[in-house]
Structure 1
Amino acid sequence: MSLAAMCAIALSACGALRQPADASGPAKLTPPSPSMVELMQLPPPERKIVAAVYGFRDETGQYKPSPDSAFSTAVTQGASAFLIKALRDSGWYTPVEREGLQSLLTERRVLRAIEVSPGPNGKPPATEPATAIPNLIPASIIFEGGIVGYDTNTRTGGLGAKFLGISLSTQFSVDQVTVNLRAVDVNTGAILDSVSTTKTIYSYEVHPGYYHFVNYYDLLELEAGYTSNEPAQLAVKAAIDAAVLHLTVQGIENNLWRLRNPADINSAIIQRVLHEEETRVKASVPQASGAADQAEQVVMSGH
């Protein structure tokens, strides 16, 4: 291959990697997670549950590693917005505003302070009714919890090969975010149910290379690279969607809330979620039994 041809290939590659195809596209709606799709396909409830969210905080205390700013957090601080949207889109809940409750109360006071328009004599007409503001809707349950874990580099690895001046290497890393969600009864303060969900965040890098001696003194070397990082906020959203889905299905199974048609308990989505929970419990029982047997053997041996 001639030097001119190889330079042309290098320049064309640089031009192709200058800007991804979808980098300058218009804004679009955030795609729903698989759990959100299933949540929206759940059978309808007997009646919607009025729910409040006062906050869904980041409890990890994790910050992005250098060279990012020390004040930049590793996970989103707007997880409550994801939770409220998941509750609203599910069709099972009627979320009421509580996170911005102070602003809502201030605006209602403004409405009450509006004076009735004066009559011809400068006094308010006695027949004109005062402004009527309906009462706020009280919630029957409160959703609490937060982002309780963010573990970086839970798995890392890579692979590379070189042959006759051609090289290719790949690297990957896996992070993990954990979300806890619980439903609290407003009347008694009892925790009706609690679930924890985990979502992995996958990142990888591909780095091909090529070098060739054009002549005795000149070496041509070409390199390229591609990195893909799954957005952490979408992983948080997926974990929250899964938590709402599992909490809703567990509430149906435990008769905390009811289906409009009781026969819908046999729907494919509900049975899949229940089977997943049952499988998880069965998978953890042998591990716990093995640990208990090992501890018993240690005690009996006197160590």
Structure 2
Amino acid sequence: MKYLILAATMLLSSCSLLPKPQLNISGAAIDSVSPLMQNLQQQGKPRTAIPVSVYAFRDQTGQYKPQANVSSFSTAVTQGATSMLTQILLDSGWFAPLEREGLQNLLTERKIHGSNKKAAELPPLKEARLLFEGGIIGYETNLTTGGIGAEYFGIGASELYREDQVTVYLRVIDVYTGQVLLSVSSSKKVFSQELRAGLFRYVSLNRLLEAEGGYSTNEPVQYCVKQAIEAALVELVEQGQQRGFWRADDQASLNNGGVS
């Protein structure tokens, strides 16, 4: 009996030694610029940011979150990818996104402003030079699964992991000609991990000793989507420079169907 109690104590203490996330009880914080975007900013940018528009960057997977024995209508990926792409374009320093997702709201406000006879006349809206299109085109679950575990005399421990994948497509279109200048796809793995240890043992005929501990970590899908969009945008900027559509430290202007 005392050996089993000792084993249970050691089991629980071993679980406490496992690395585990700290409880986040702090206030809300502003998301920082990722290292990938910081590196892009440090490589140089045009003298004047290129005006671009994004009407929609939607979830095109049509998938819902997988839940066992439960009917779920929660989508597998974020529905706010348009806002993500707009923020990433701003952070890049290369592009100046114009409001297009909420264009109707903007036009309504301008109409209200124009109905005021005493108000000054508003200037025309600025036109975009480039149009960004695309979307989240894939979310594969259980791409890779596995684990390892062992159990002896009612004492056991195991580790499980799962790997999903999200894929996005992003393309740049010349507004003047309608030509697709560049198109890039990128993927990001989404990792999940679970660690657990347990004890299950009858210490006597009617007495059962049971103990269990562990934790799991899951990568947020929305952050993985954001990283995939960032990777696609960085690749577009690099390809655009290589093909002469735009260049750093110079004012962007139209030239041969592109921006140089």
TM-score range, shorter chain: 0.7 to 0.9
Is residue 71 from structure 1 mapped to residue 73 from structure 2 by the alignment? yes
Q: Residue type of the partner of 1:99?
A: E
Structure 2-normalised TM-score?
Answer: 0.84
For residue 198 of structure 1, what is the aligned residue in structure 2? 187
Question: How many Å separate the matches in 2 of 1:47 and 1:154?
Answer: 43
Q: 1:255 to 1:14 in 2, by over 3 A?
A: closer
Question: How many Å separate the matches in 2 of 1:167 and 1:137?
Answer: 65
**Secondary structure of the corresponding residue to residue 88 of structure 1:** helix
Question: Runs of 5+ in structure 1 lacking a partner?
Answer: 117-129, 262-303
Q: CA RMSD in A?
A: 2.9
Question: How many Å separate the matches in 2 of 1:258 and 1:11?
Answer: 59
Contact 2:167 2:228 in 1 (8 A): yes
For residue 149 of structure 1, what is the aligned residue in structure 2? 138
For residue 52 of structure 2, what is the aligned residue in structure 1? 51
- 1:38 CA drift (Å): 2.4
Question: How many Å separate the matches in 2 of 1:69 and 1:99?
Answer: 31
Contact 2:12 2:213 in 1 (8 A): no
Question: Please, which of 217, 222, 227 is the counterpart of residue 216 of structure 2?
Answer: 227
Contact 2:162 2:193 in 1 (8 A): yes
More strand by share: 2
Can you list the C-alpha shifts for 1:136-165, whole angstroms capped at 9, x where unaligned?
111000000000111011100010012344
Question: How many Å separate the matches in 2 of 1:9 and 1:106?
Answer: 67
**Secondary structure of the corresponding residue to residue 236 of structure 1:** helix
Contact 1:160 1:169 in 2 (8 A): yes
For residue 95 of structure 1, what is the aligned residue in structure 2? 97
Question: Please, which of 147, 163, 172 is the counterpart of residue 174 of structure 1?
Answer: 163
More helix by share: 1
Question: Please, which of 198, 209, 221 is the counterpart of residue 198 of structure 2?
Answer: 209
Question: How many Å separate the matches in 2 of 1:46 and 1:115?
Answer: 38
**Percent identical across equivalent pairs?**
47
Q: How many residue pairs get matched? A: 247
**Secondary structure of the corresponding residue to residue 184 of structure 1:** strand
Question: How many Å separate the matches in 2 of 1:33 and 1:161?
Answer: 39
Question: How many Å separate the matches in 2 of 1:194 and 1:205?
Answer: 37
Question: Runs of 5+ in structure 2 lacking a partner?
Answer: 251-260
For residue 255 of structure 2, what is the aligned residue in structure 1? none
Contact 1:46 1:258 in 2 (8 A): no
For residue 22 of structure 1, what is the aligned residue in structure 2? 23
Q: 1:215 to 1:77 in 2, by over 3 A?
A: same
Q: 1:156 to 1:217 in 2, by over 3 A?
A: same
Q: Return the index of the structure with the highest Cα Rg.
A: 1
